[in-house]
Amino acid sequence: MFLAPLRPAIQTWQALALSPLLALAVFWLGGEAGLATMAALCPLAMLAVRRPIPPGSSASVSDQVIARLDATLAEIAVRGGATGCLVIQFDDAAHLRDRLGRSRQSEVLATSVARLRGALRPGDLLYTLEDGSLAVALSASPRLDAEIMVRIAARMQLVVQQPVMLASGPVQVICSIGFCHSAQLTQPSGRALLDAAQVAGDEAAICTPGAIRGFTAEMARARSDRDALRAGFSAAVDRGEVRAWFQPQISTDSGDVTGVEALVRWEHPDRGCLAPAAFLPAIEGSDLMELLGQTMLTQSLAMLADFDRRGLRIPAVAVNFSQQELRDPQLPDRLAWMLDSFGLSPSRLTVEVLESVVSGDGEDVVAANIGRIAAMGCGVDLDDFGTGNASITAIRRFALNRLKIDRSFIKEVDQNRDQQNLVTAILSLAERLGLETLAEGVETPAEHALLAQLGCGHVQGFVIARPMPAEELATWLVSYRERQAHALCIGVGAR
């Protein structure tokens, strides 16, 4: 159930409903002077009839959860038993809003909350936290342990994930749950229990949709580490520590460099050079992702313009955009303005979209943005193809130019017949859909050779070059093109 602050004896809506009748009566009895007196005295009268608000009733919802848990812990200290806290996060709330609209999203989530309320044990209380997640404060129980808390979490998850029927059809909500048992904390308190459950909930949301995680000390340390990275990210961008590195992409037909992919690196003063996996989880879902995207785009376009001036022209740079950025209706206009400011044509920029973005039904705003970006003349790559659940219908719905075949399909493709069959099927699909192909994560000459033989148009990976800063890319590019020209001269002379 939800807790609400105590309300005044006369509620605002009741006073407003009666005010026209009261004003009419005062005018009949006292005329305009009576109305003026009423206007002056009404605010004082409303304050006078309000019941005093008990201490703590105006506290935030989080404070109410903490107070409830503290009371339960005090009860346990006298009578024994245990308690716990669970935090429930809706994994696809933003997707529901974009697909259904705010009113239907609210209807779906309200139905889910009502179902949760009905699934609680007697004495358990459900709260809606300020960030939209839910907290459950469990009542004291002599038999509560971690295994029972897992069962409680699983039951809540099962209740939430039952389809909600709307006029437009069924809608399924997916939630992640984190929990903490009071015995897991050396000094349990209401705040410590809620904080620990939120840490576990965040860990569950990071892992996979619909995950359940119990609190551990390792989670707390990882959370502290992520918080430190998040807190220092913006300043690191200002100091120039967050940089775009570039990995070349080449044609399997000509061997020419057809583009580069921009990959972020954080040159941390204390931790060394951090790859994306080390810090992206810390900033995902926040405004820092937009800051990262803008930083990568600016540095990538600046590199292209600089290389053009130096006679080292690279046809295009591919930049990854998060789902959060792709939802921004201003993104196409911003890209056009950035390209124009660097004097580059739209064809010089390729936007990379993760397969998870176009999986399932897709999102109208994302599809519209990608369509506008493609119409400008920019390339659009579907990244990590094969790792998600994108259907052919979804692929056709988005204005894609190229499929990037994930490394998991490329590894040992020269030795594994099943891998060859999978890659052949992907290449055939791309050909029928009129899409180009690029294999990423190519690490051996044998893999490179077989992919060329199978008809994959472009390759990228360690066999060509590792990601590198722009200054190293310039040196590599000169050396690579000299080797290509020398090989061509030898080939011509041999004929």
Q: Give, in degrees to the nearest 5, the angle at Cα 30 between 26 and 34.
A: 70
Q: Is the pLDDT of residue 191 over 80?
A: yes
40 token code pair: 């002056």
Cross-strand bridge partners of residue 264:
244
Q: What is the pLDDT of residue 55?
A: 39
What mean pLDDT is predicted for residues 82-106? Answer: 79
| CA distances, 362 to each of 214, 379, 384, 441 (Å) | 32, 19, 16, 27
- DSSP lists the bridge partners of residue 164 as 171
Q: Which of the two residues, 329 and 359, has the higher pLDDT score?
A: 329
Q: Looking at residue 21, what is its pLDDT?
A: 59
State which amino acid sits at residue 236.
A
Residue holding tokens 């259904």?
Answer: 100
Q: Is the Cα torsion angle 288, 293, 294, 300 positive or negative in sign?
A: positive
Does position 2 have pLDDT exceeding 50, yes or no?
Answer: no
Most confident residue range from 24-38, 156-170, 330-344: 330-344
Provide the residue type at 256 as one letter.
D
d(C-alpha 449, C-alpha 252), whole Å: 8
For β-strands 458-460 and 436-440, DSSP reports them as parallel
pLDDT beyond 90 at 238: yes
DSSP notation for 205-225: HHH-TT-EEE--HHHHHHHHH
Tracing tokens 């709307």 back to the chain, one arrives at 166
Average pLDDT over residues 20-33: 61
Interval 441-473: pLDDT, tens = 999 999 999 999 999 999 999 999 999 999 999
First-to-last CA distance in the chain? 84
Q: What is the rounded distance in angstroms from the CA atom of residue 220 to the CA atom of residue 177?
A: 16
pTM beyond 0.85, yes or no: no
Strands 175-181 and 169-171: unpaired
- Tokens 């000094």 correspond to 187
Q: For residues 56 and 64, what is the distance between their CA atoms, to the nearest angstrom? A: 8
- Please say whether the beta carbons of 343 and 305 come within 8 A: yes
**Residue 213: how many CB atoms within 10 A of its CB?**
22
The torsion angles phi and psi of 457, rounded to 5 degrees, stand at -75, -35
The confidence score (pLDDT) of residue 302 equals 97
pLDDT digits (tens, 9 = 90+) for 42-84: 544 443 333 333 434 445 888 999 999 999 999 999 999 999 9
- Please, which pLDDT band fits residue 13 given cuts at 50, 70 and 90? very low
Examine the pLDDT at 95 and tell me if it is beyond 80: no
Residue (of 107, 95, 65) closest to 83 by Cα position: 65
Beta-bridge partner residues of 243: 265
Alpha-carbon separation of residue 407 from 94, 335, 385 (angstroms): 30, 29, 9
pLDDT of amino acid 167 = 74
- Which CA distances in Å does 271 have to 69, 266, 268, 278, 495? 38, 9, 5, 10, 54
Residue type, 198: Q
> Tokens 């105006």 — which residue?
58
User: What is the distance between the alpha carbons of residues 259 and 476, in angstroms, rounded to a whole number?
Assistant: 14
Q: What is the pLDDT of residue 57?
A: 42
Proportion of the chain above pLDDT 90, given as a percent: 51
Which stretch of 111-115, 180-184, 269-273 has the lowest confidence by average pLDDT?
Answer: 111-115
pLDDT recorded at residue 210 = 85
Measured distance CA(479)–CA(242) in Å, rounded: 27
For residue 436, the surrounding DSSP H or E stretch is: strand 436-440
Using 50, 70 and 90 to split pLDDT, how confident is the model at 24?
A: low
Does residue 301 register a pLDDT over 90?
yes
Please enumerate in sequence order all residues whose Cβ is within 8 A of that of 407, keeping only pairs 6 or more positions apart, or say none: 440, 441, 461
CA 136 to CA 87: how far, in whole Å? 6
Supply the mean pLDDT for the chain. Answer: 84
Q: What residues form DSSP beta bridges with 353?
A: 382
d(CA 242, CA 234): 9
pLDDT in the model for residue 51: 38
String of DSSP letters for 41-84: HHHHHHHHHSPPPPTTTTS-HHHHHHHHHHHHHHHHHHH--B-E
Q: Which residue has the higher pLDDT, 390 or 332?
A: 332
Give the pLDDT score at 323.
84
DSSP string across 231-253? HHHHHHHHTT-EEEEEEEEEETT
Lowest mean pLDDT among 389-398, 421-430, 439-448, 468-477: 389-398
Q: Which two tokens stand for residue 38?
A: 């009423």
**Contact between 405 and 385 (Cβ < 8 Å):** yes
51 phi, psi to nearest 5 deg: -75, 145
| pLDDT for the residue 491 | 53
185 band by pLDDT with thresholds 50, 70 and 90: confident
- Does 397 score more than 90 pLDDT? no
Per-residue pLDDT at 308: 96
Residue, of 132 and 381, whose pLDDT is higher: 381
Q: Hey, which residues does 317 pair with through a beta bridge?
A: 260, 349
Which residue type is seen at 168? S
Which residues on adjacent β-strands are paired with residue 246? 262, 468
In the chain, how long is the greatest CA-to-CA distance?
Answer: 115
SS3 state at 302: helix
Contact assessment for residue 200 and residue 180, using Cβ atoms and an 8 Å cutoff: yes
If phi > 0 it is left, if psi is from -120 to 50 it is alpha, else beta; for residue 466 that is beta
